[in-house]
Structure 1
Amino acid sequence: MEPMLLVLTGAALALGAVLLGSHILGFVAQRPADFAGQGPVLNLRDHLAGPLLCEGVIYGPTGRVVSRFVAEMEAHWHGNVGTMTEEFRYDSGAVQHRQWTLHVEGDDRIRAEAPDVVGTGHGELCGPALRLRYRIRLPDSAGGYVLDTTDWMYVVENGTIINRSQFRKYGFKVAELIATIRKNDR
């Protein structure tokens, strides 16, 4: 075999191993059951209730910060159905509004709906963690693409929620969001 072909074949195998490893060992591979028996327990009706403040950054596909934001949220529950309104203010000056309807089913399942979510999001709670998967349609100003989204939320001892979300198109990560959500005492 030609030396150059050997180098290219080796590089392709290494890239394939890295991509496979990230799906087997990385963010995508986490399962809610990985957090069984850990605390504190994330209770949506308690931790996502009343006025909330969210602060975060969005990373583009190269890992560079492309946007920063602050969001004021308000969540109310009637039994197992919650409504959460969000107003995002981005560093660009853009403002975005979203309203989620959350349905808690049993102790560990959640359904989530919002106007820019295609279909219904499905989530699973376990211990301090929530994994929520859904498809989101970006605004026309951002191309109108539909992205596959995985949100992981983790509650920490003081009640703050750490949110990490990945957005994928055709299986490739195109953006990532890291944010905190905490009670807003205004």
Structure 2
Amino acid sequence: MTYLKKLCLLFATACLLSSCSADINDYKGTSPSFDLFEYFQGDIEAWGMVKDYTNQQTRRFHVKVHGDVDGDTLTLHEDFVYHDGETDTRVWTITREGDGRYIGKAGDIIGDATGQVVGNALQWQYDFRLKTDEREIDVHFDDWMYRQDERHLFNTTRITKWGIQVGEVTLFFAKQ
């Protein structure tokens, strides 16, 4: 097989494997059930890390989250403090669409975030404008949250560019 054919086959395989994702419906009937608005109402703290495409941890952070519910709208105020002292704030506005579906907006999110809750899990997907030292790049986030119990939630996120995984975020939430 020629070098070019091998390279094309390798690239096609990588794209196919990197585009695989769990199905939210696999969580039907799992418990505890995840009510997004109920969980994020009030004060929550989270601790997280970012890993790059080599699986190396590149950032650690702490987040204080405050959520307010008004009818079918959840407003989340997130205040980040990174291990290097950098701070950041994000404000999400999330609307309940019915049937476990949600639409969200935030300043550094491109377009709408879309999500669905089934059982104890939420799949949340959106495009994000990622700021690096040199420039800004647009990446895709495939965010999964798993309700563990009354107070705790795990969050794992695959970050992709052109369908290829370039990073990963892991968070642990504790409701205050």
Query: Aligned-pair distance for 1:142?
Result: 5.9
Q: Which residue of 2 aligns with 1:77?
A: 69
Query: With CA pairs under 8 Å and 6+ residues apart, which has the higher RCO, 1 or 2?
Result: 2
TM-score normalised over the length of structure 2: 0.90
Report the secondary structure of 2:149's partner residue: coil
CA distance in 2, matches of 1:127, 1:97: 30
> Structure 2 matches for 1:35-184, cutoff 5 A?
35-139=27-131, 141=133, 143-184=135-176
Report the secondary structure of 1:167's partner residue: strand
Query: Aligned-pair distance for 1:56?
Result: 0.7
- Do the aligned residues in 1 keep the contact of 2:117 with 2:123 (CA within 8 Å)? yes
- Do the aligned residues in 1 keep the contact of 2:155 with 2:171 (CA within 8 Å)? yes
Query: Aligned-pair distance for 1:80?
Result: 1.2
The aligned amino acid for 1:84 is L
Alignment RMSD, CA only?
Answer: 2.2
Q: Which structure dedicates a bigger proportion of its chain to strand? A: 2
Query: Aligned-pair distance for 1:20?
Result: 3.1
CA distance in 2, matches of 1:35, 1:151: 15
Is 1:20 the counterpart of 2:16? The answer is: yes
The aligned amino acid for 1:79 is G
- How many residue pairs match? The answer is 176
Deviation per CA, 1:110-139: give whole Å up to 9, x if none. 001001001111111100000111111123
Query: Aligned-pair distance for 1:107?
Result: 3.3
CA distance in 1, matches of 2:55, 2:87: 23
Query: Aligned-pair distance for 1:143?
Result: 2.1
CA distance in 2, matches of 1:170, 1:18: 11
Query: Aligned-pair distance for 1:156?
Result: 0.6
Which of the pair has more CA radius of gyration? 1
- Do the aligned residues in 1 keep the contact of 2:18 with 2:165 (CA within 8 Å)? no
TM-score normalised over the length of structure 1: 0.85
The aligned amino acid for 1:72 is K
Report the secondary structure of 2:49's partner residue: strand
Q: Which structure dedicates a bigger proportion of its chain to helix? A: 1
Report the secondary structure of 2:136's partner residue: coil
The aligned amino acid for 1:76 is D
- Do the aligned residues in 1 keep the contact of 2:15 with 2:163 (CA within 8 Å)? no
